[in-house]
Structures are given as C-alpha cells and as structure tokens.
Amino acid sequence: LNPKVCIVGSGPAGFYTAQHLIKAQQHVHVDIYERLPVPFGLVRFGVAPDHPEVKNVINTFTQTAKHSRCSFYGNVNVGKDVSVQELQRAYHAVVLSYGAEGNRTMGVPGEGLAGVYSAKDFVGWYNGLPSCRQLSPDLSCETAVILGQGNVALDVARVLLSPVDMLKETDITQPALEALAHSQVRRVLIVGRRGPVQVAFTIKELREMVNLPGTRPDMVEADFDGVTEALKDLPRPRKRLTELMLKTALQTPGETEQERRDQASRTWGLRFFRSPVEVLADPERHRTAGIRLAVTRLEGSGEAARAVLTGDVEDVTCGLVISSIGYKSLPIDQSVPFDSKSAIVPNTMGRIKQAPGLYCSGWLKTGPTGVIATTMNNSFDTARSLLDDMESGVLDLSAAKSGSQVITALLEQRGVKPVSFSDWEKIDRVEMSRGEASGKPREKLLTVEEMLHVART
C-alpha cells in the first residue's frame, strides 16, 4: 500500500504537515501544490526582512521537499487550474493548507482613500509578494497611524522607522528600500482599542522598538493608570512585557538613554483605548488627511476585557493609515465547506466536516493566530488525524490512486506548467547571487513572469 496525499499550500502549515506524514508513515507519498512559483508562504512573504533567524525553518522545509517521497508543484492554482474534487479523485487524502490571503476590513468610511493600506499588503510590498508589487505606498507624509497592536503592526512600524543602512543588509525588496530612503515619515502611532495589558505583540518585538536607533518613544502617561497595580495578577510573559512598556512610558531615562532620545529624529508611540470611526479626507477628497478615533474604555479585566465606546472622539492628523487587524482565509472551491463568519473551514482536529478524505491545517483551520511554532503543532495534529484515519480504515487505501500522474496530465491539457523544487532552486540561486552583488542575503524576483523565466532557463 502506497498512500498518496496531496497538500495545497507550501507555507509552514503545508510543509509541517508533509514533514510529519513522511516521518510517521514509511510508504506515504506527499505532493505539495503551490499557487506561486516559489515555496514557503509567509516565511518568505510575511516574516520581517530584519528577522532572518525566523527564516531558518526554510532549511527544514527544504529537507522535506527533497525527500524521495515528497514532490513540489509550484505555479498551480488549485480551485482554478485544477479543482479540489479532481485532487480528491487522484489522492487518498487532500489537506488544505493555503492560509489566509484575504484582509479583514475595518468597515469604516474613507477606508478606500489613497493612503490607506492593509498591513498584509504593506508587508507583501516590502517582502516582494508579486500581487503587492504595484502598491508603491506614498510615504511623503510626516505621521503614519497603524491600527492594531500585534507583532505585524510593530514590524511595519519598525520598517517605517528603521535607518536605511540597517534595512540595506536585509532581503527587503529594492523598490521598498528606495521608497523608504526617500520617506518623510517621522512619527508612527500604533493604535489599539484596548489597554496596555491587552496588547497582542510580544516582548522581543517591543524591545526592538525601544532600542531602534534614531528613534524615541512617545507615550501618554494617563494610558498607564492602574497598570502598575494590575501587574501582580499577570502571568509571567505578560508581566515582563507590561513592565517593559511601563518602564518605557513612565521611567525617567538614564543619561545615555536621554542623550540617545535627544538625538532621535523619529518617534513612535503606542496609543490605547482608541477605535477607528472614519478615515478623514483632504479638502480635495482624494487622499487621507487624518483619522477619527472613538475613545473607548474597558469592561472587565485581563485577556477577557472588552472595549466599549464612551461617545467621545479624537482626530489625528496623518497621511498614511495602515490597518493591521488581521488576515482572513478565503474559500477556495464550491465543493469545500466554508464558514464565512469565522473565515475558517469547519473542522474537528483538522478533519473537514461533512467531507471525508479532506483535511486542513494552519490558519485555514484555526484562523490567523500564533507564530510559526503554533502552526507547526497544529499541522502535526492534522497529520496525526490523517494517519489515524489511514490506520482505522476510514480512508480506503486499497483503492488505487494515480496521484500526480493524472493531475500533471490534466494540467498539461490546460496549458499549466508546474515549477518543480529544482526549478525553485534555480530561482533561489539567482536571488542569492543578485543579493550578494549588493551585500544583501538575497534580491527577490518580484514578478511571476520573472520567476518562471528563471525557472525555465
């Protein structure tokens, strides 16, 4: 028996699911299908350019991809080039791991004005996601407002305020580097509707902001009323994070730190108890000129605290608004159950409800939460469910399945040429050597056409 499994999506969820299946079952063959010609999903397109250590998981994923029982098919758009039902006929099991490529919208007037971007697209722009290449955000304003207080919000703030000399040594895209070199942004406000105790970012990211060269923090002391008293009840990681915020906001800096702050030309600040009501336009009604924020207060405490409106509003002048309120999964195919309210595929332990032989892992399964390690564990869980179903006979392994053989034939008929993992390695080599020429770890190819051209020469 040689069970054939197909995985849709080659980000961390797809690769970790594949890794576990291959390790745990001696005969299973796994085919990974990816819409882009390049693998690794958000490791390539989401992780901040100045966090190269986070990208080390690519080495593990590469080992999996080169395993004799694993194959990679890039440049294949499942749901369009080939249907999920066609995959189900060709494989014993299909795992959907295609992540969350949609944006949660703020749902406020003025959201469509020039100068308003989603963090997902902004990050995609500086990380070289082909679909975000045309973004070219206008950075000619002094103040940027980021809505949301997760790690992505801090990544964006850091990239906007980092000295260009620091960014020059990362794999940030050339167009983004040039735009940031000419940026007029001097002040970034990171806004959340709840308080300091409820922020979603982690201490590492906060520390990077606190230590960012050429910048100083700008906080509102009143935002921290009562926070010192709340400290004693907090779990340790949350406590350490809150202490660092308190220290940054309230403590009189020492001599060296004061000197550093006095010389800083850029500022960043956390703003709490604020929720967006409207993006305000300039008199010509074309561009962002500011944002109207509703003032909130908390009901309840700790993680469960809810922000309720007080009825007051506050206007902030800014020319750039970046909404970092979360990614959202999208349905792939009519045949796959999808809960549009919570934007996930309804599942139990990764088994998609009412769809035998169909599984999901990653953000499609859980919603867009957690870091790469969280995704790893949730993907291993899905792989275990699938292996249990093989053992218990829920999946009929006696049926002969032709796997990639029939799918590649279908794709050929439809004029789709998949990119293999060795084709990707050609792209990888070109990017690395282009980077080397300018002292960067890599210079990413920015269009699908260019990627395909390199893969096929």
What residues form the annotated binding site for FAD?
13, 34, 42, 78, 363, 370-372
| Feature table: binding site for NADP(+) | 149-152, 193-194, 205, 370
Rounded Cα–Cα distance for residues 158 and 212 (Å):
8
Cβ distance 356 to 378 under 8 Å? Answer: no
CA distances in angstroms from 117 to 58, 121, 124, 159, 390, listed in the order given: 29, 7, 11, 15, 45
> Which residue do the tokens 């440049």 mark?
75
| Feature table: binding site | 13, 34, 42, 78, 149-152, 193-194, 205, 363, 370-372
CA distances in angstroms from 73 to 37, 41, 77, 338, 451, listed in the order given: 8, 14, 10, 25, 14
Contacts 24+ apart (CB under 8 A), 440-445: 440/168, 440/169, 440/170, 440/171, 441/52, 441/169, 441/170, 441/171, 442/171, 443/171, 443/173, 443/174, 444/127, 444/128, 444/171, 444/173, 445/128
What is the C-alpha R_g of the chain? 24
Cβ distance 284 to 263 under 8 Å? Answer: no
